[in-house]
Structure 1
Amino acid sequence: MGRATDRLTTLIASAVQALGYELVGVEHQSQGKHTVVRVFIDSPEGITLEDCEQASHQISGVLDVEDPIRGQYNLEVSSPGLDRPLFTPEHYTRFIGEKARLRLRHAVDGRRKVAGRIESVDGNVVRIIDDAGEVYELNVDQVEKANLIPDYDAIMQSH
């Protein structure tokens, strides 16, 4: 994360936590004049549309006062969903044994995309084993974007 995203995350965290939600993470994307701020929130009871609206209103108020983003931006607030994003070592630890898809900032062994089972986490280093048995030990800082890969078969069997 860059310093701007760190500051943004800190500002948003206080607003989200004040409402009793967990801040899963913040994505900040600037593409020319278009800036999108995606905020993922969660709670033990799950997240409803009303929760997202309430958090969006609170976050907007904080961002309007603090003004950390130049120009206009779109704010999107949602639950993490089945393809939950992973931002911190704690997120990876929580989902050891699950499959994840990672896009790396720079190629490792000629690859920028890695998908496989989260085997272990040691500090900031995540160990991923892909379907071919290849092992990747990646620092969380090397990861540009990571999401769980939902196991739809298991989900369908549980309903």
Structure 2
Amino acid sequence: MSQKVTDLVAELLTDILEKHQLELVDVEYVKEGKNWFLRVFIDKDAGVDIEECSVVSEQLSEKLDETDPIPHVYFLEVSSPGAERPLKNEKDFLKSIGKHVNVKTYEPIEGSKEFEGTMLSYDPTEIKLSIKIKTRTKEITIPTEKVAKARLAVTFS
């Protein structure tokens, strides 16, 4: 059921986000403890503020009330994905070239399942990262079908 809900919510958001020149990053519909949460993550190049999140929340809430796709009580949260934004699609990966990212894989590559470094390139079949191991820099290629999760990573200098 949660996949259907997330797909429907993404569809309901299309016009709202277009009108406000915002982008949908992700939709989650999850149960935590005994509560259900519908989480919507939105963004734009300059970042989103609380006012934009509030407007999207109100407009989405109205549409959800009309269509009533969720049969039980849930909490609606609309927010920015934050500094460690998840990379979900090709557009996200392409925008992240040259940025610091964290990539987790389904199976080990060269003995590791987690990599953090600068994304050098992306194509639909692989990601290239420049990672630092102690004092040396190394380039690693990760096949995209092995990527479990990827996100921007915050670095502290």
RMSD of aligned alpha carbons: 2.8
Residue-pair matches, total: 150
Is the Cα contact below 8 Å between 1:95 and 1:118 reproduced in 2? yes
Q: Secondary structure at the match of 2:54?
A: helix
Alpha-carbon contact 2:126-2:141 (below 8 Å) kept: no
Report the counterpart of residue 125 of structure 1 in structure 2.
126
Counterpart secondary structure, 1:71: coil
Decide whether the 8 Å contact of 1:27 with 1:39 is kept in 2.
yes
The corresponding residue for 1:90 is 91
Report the alpha carbon displacement of residue 57 of structure 1 after superposing the two structures with TM. Answer: 0.7
Give percent identity, aligned residues only.
32
Q: TM-score, normalised by structure 2?
A: 0.73
Name the structure 2 match of 1:107: 107
Deviation at 1:121, TM superposition (A): 1.1
One-letter amino acid of the counterpart of residue 25, structure 2: V
Contact 1:89–1:124 at 8 Å: present in 2 too?
no
Query: Is 1:150 paired with 2:151?
Result: no
Distance 1:88 1:61, change over 3 A: same
Q: TM-score under structure 1 normalisation?
A: 0.73
**1:54 Cα offset (Å):** 0.5
**Contact preservation (8 Å) 2:36, 2:75:** yes
Instruction: Give the AA of the match of 1:150.
Output: V
The CA distance in 1 between the partners of 2:44 and 2:30, in whole Å, is: 25
1: distance between equivalents of 2:150 and 2:123? 17
Cα distance, 1:31 vs. partner? 4.1
Q: In 2, distance between residues paired with 1:52 and 1:6?
A: 20
Other structure's SS at 1:146 match: strand
1:99–1:117: 8 Å Cα contact kept in structure 2?
yes
Please identify which structure carries the higher strand content.
2
Distance 2:103 2:54 in 1: 29
Name segments (4+ residues, structure 1) moved above 6 Å. none
Separation in 1 of the partners of 2:148 and 2:38? 15
Change (3 A) 1:70 1:136: farther
In the alignment, is residue 57 of structure 1 matched against residue 62 of structure 2? no
Match of 1:20 in 2: 21
Quote the offset at 1:3 in angstroms. Answer: 4.5
Provide the secondary structure at the position in 2 that maps to 1:130.
strand
